[in-house]
Structure formats: C-alpha cells, structure tokens
Amino acid sequence: MNARAGWRKSDTFIARLKSVTPGYEGYLGNLGVLPGTHGEKSVKQVSTEWLTLSNYSVKVPQRFMLTAFELGYEDAVCYEIRTYSPERSDGSHNQLLDRSNDDYIGLYDNPCEGPIWTLFKGRDQLNVSGTGRYSGVKLYSNRNFPLRAAGGGEVDNVAFHYLSDKKGVELEFELEVEKLDVHSLLYPLPSHYDTSRSFIAQLHSKTPGEPGFIDQIEHYKLRGEPRFYRTDGWLTITDPQFWPQHMELQSFWFGYFSLPDGRSGYEIRSYDPSRRRSHNKVLTYNKGGYVSFNDPVAGTPREVWTLLHRDKVFSPVPGSFDDCRLLSPDGLIASPRWESWAGAMITQPSGAKACYIDFAGRQKLNLSINVHTVGVAGM
C-alpha cells in the first residue's frame, strides 16, 4: 500500500464502529475481562491494552478519531485511528490502534504516527462526506487485510472478541460519524487564551426560594446557634440573612479558552491575590454532580464551562447581570441542592441551611454575575 502524504483536516472525523456481522454484533472498544476473588470472571469497560468487540451494554460506546491522509493517487485517503474520549466518559483516549507481534490489534500509548487503515464499501473506498451512518463498511489494515474477530468468549452472558487483521471472522461495520472536519489528536494545538473575554466577578443566586451569596461557606451548629466557616472546597449558596458579616465575599476568575478539540468556554478559579480567601483553585464537579474547587494538577485536561445570559452566550462588561445560567463542560445546567446529612443542614431554631450546587436538580440555578474587571491575564 502506498505511503501516506499530507494530512487532510477536512476528512478527519470522530466516529463509532459497530459490527453488524451475524453472531459478532457490537461496538469496538476497550472491554476488559476482570478475574474475581473466587475464580469467577466479569466484564467491564476499562483501560486495556487490546481493542475488543463486544455486545456489552454501555451508555456511551467508545469513540475513535480517524485522522485522514492523502494516499497520493485519485484523491484516495487512508486513516490513522486513535481512541477518542477527552472527557474520559467512555473509556480510552488517544490510544493508537496498532498490530502486535502475534497479529492482534492493540491500543498503544504512542504520540508518533501509527499505521494506516482504509475504509471500503464493497470494492470502492468509502467516501465520508458528512455526519451520519454508513453501512456495509469494512476496515483494511496497511497489509491490505480486513479487520477480523479472533478469539474471545462469553462472560456473564456478554460476548467479547479480540481483533486481528490476519485470522478470524471478517467483520462488516456500520460507521457512525459524529463530527467531521476536526483537528487531529496527532497534531495537537495549544489552548488559546482570550484576555478580552476573561474577567473577575462575584456570584449571587437569584433562584426563587434559594437566594444567596455563592461562595464556599458551610455551617455547623454549636449550642443551637449557627457557626460559619469557609471550606476552600464545595461551592455553596448562603442565604443573605445568615451571611457572616465579618467574611468578605469570594471573587472568581473566569478565563476564556479555545481548546484544540474545538470546544471553548470558561475555566473558573477562585480569586483573591491577598490570600484572605481561596485563590487559584479550579472549579470541577465530581461523579456525584457536586461542584467544588480543587488544586490545579499539571497535565489534567482543561474543563471549560459555559455562561449564558438570557439564553445567549454571555458577553462580559463591567456591571451586574441577572438571569444567567452556568453549564457544565458536558452541557448540564447547574441547580441548587439542599442536603440533610449531619452538619450540612442547620434546622430550627436558626433556620439557616446549606445549599450546594450540582447538575442533577430539576430547579435551575438563576445566577446573578457582578463583573468587576474585564480583560484580565491568565492564572
């Protein structure tokens, strides 16, 4: 097969690969077989060194990025294939599909260019012209062999197979193209910071029934009276009538980034150069949906949040803005959430309660943004 020529961004895409071969139905992914404590086995979507095919039911099947290259004749293209999951929600990310010494297809951590693959429909090379589903697709390696199911078995009524380009049952796929014309993982661009759209602000809740200051204040009860402290952790709403007057309200840095994968939005950090309050902690949310601030970790993918003002993208200028919404990196809308575990909620006679912020509630957080400074440097 001819060697690759130039990279073609317009033909690079993100997709899922679903086998429709009778007896071998399922998605390509990173299914792992886990041994139990008493000799039993179970299956789970985990980081693994092998590419697998399985009918294992997952909420989000593994995605792949197919980076397109010219083959140098008749406008034909070939692809380098990597797993794709920047938010790590569906398993492997940026692992290269390559062949092992015994002809099985593995997933490798390799930043360099990998082997090329081609897509065919019948005898013709597949033309991926847009998003959607493409049926009757076969995947050929750089040895001009089709991808095959080889070995495997069944665990907990879940069938799984390893992949090879030399042995086993030849597979036919339905290609589910999610996004076309994307920037390749193979040639990453740095994040672009936009000073003009970055700002410092304080936040308030104008949510009906849950008004208050947004900070990191939690409560406990001592001899029946409320006591307040700043956690440097969970993001909370405090009712104005219970706000401790000796505490200054927390400010936040909203840094606007355009990411290499095409996403853009705000990285949010606590801000107080005087260090009297929290400073330079990164806003994140955990698997339970709660929002908290944590120390930045080098090499961690940047999380960007979306701000809307009356359902339009927020444009920062100094001043106060009501009717705003905060959207998580995966598009969920923030909501207030009362909690009742010991120490988290203060009941009568004080009447003070701790309201956390998450992305699971039905009532949406109505946010008021008080912008102090626009055009700020990065942190």
The residue ranges of every structural domain in the chain are 9-180, 192-374
Residue 22 has pLDDT above 60, yes or no: yes
CA pair distance 81, 163, nearest whole angstrom: 14
For the chain, percent of residues with pLDDT exceeding 90? 34
Residue 284 — pLDDT band, cuts 50, 70, 90? confident
| pLDDT score at 374 | 94
Average pLDDT of the segment spanning 205-233: 72
| Neighbour tally for 377: CB within 10 Å | 9
pTM, two decimals, is 0.52
Q: Which of 36-40, 218-222, 236-240 is the least confident region?
A: 36-40
Class of domain 192-374: mainly beta
Pairing relation of β-strands 158-164 and 124-125?
A: unpaired
Query: What is the reported pLDDT for 344?
Result: 36
Residues 6+ apart with CB under 8 A from 335: 357, 358, 359, 360, 361, 362, 363, 364, 365
Instruction: Report the pLDDT averaged over residues 290-316.
Output: 82
pLDDT at 193: 87
In the chain, which residue ranges form alpha helices assigned H by DSSP?
A: none
For the segment 284-308, the average pLDDT, to the nearest whole number, is 76
How many angstroms separate the CA atoms of 314 and 252, rounded? 16
Tracing tokens 């590419």 back to the chain, one arrives at 51
pLDDT of residue 1: 38
Q: Across the strands, what pairs with 283? A: 293
Worst-scoring range by mean pLDDT, 67-76, 117-126, 160-169, 225-234? 225-234
Burial class (CB in 10 A: 0-12, 13-18, 19+), 43: buried
pLDDT for the residue numbered 2: 42
Phi-psi region of 197 (alpha: psi -120 to 50; beta: other; left: phi over 0): alpha
**Does 329 score more than 90 pLDDT?**
no
> Above 70 in pLDDT, residue 373?
yes
Residue-averaged pLDDT of the chain: 80
CATH 2.80.10.50 fits 9-180, yes or no: yes
Q: Give the model's pLDDT for residue 345.
A: 34
Single-letter code of the amino acid located at 57? S
Can you tell me the mean pLDDT for 195-219? Answer: 85
Tokens of 194: 């936009």
In contact, 76 and 8? CB cutoff 8 Å: no
pLDDT (mean) for 283-306: 75
- Lowest mean pLDDT, pick from 115-119, 238-242, 283-287, 338-342: 338-342
CA distance 194 to 172: 45
Say whether pLDDT at 261 is over 90. no
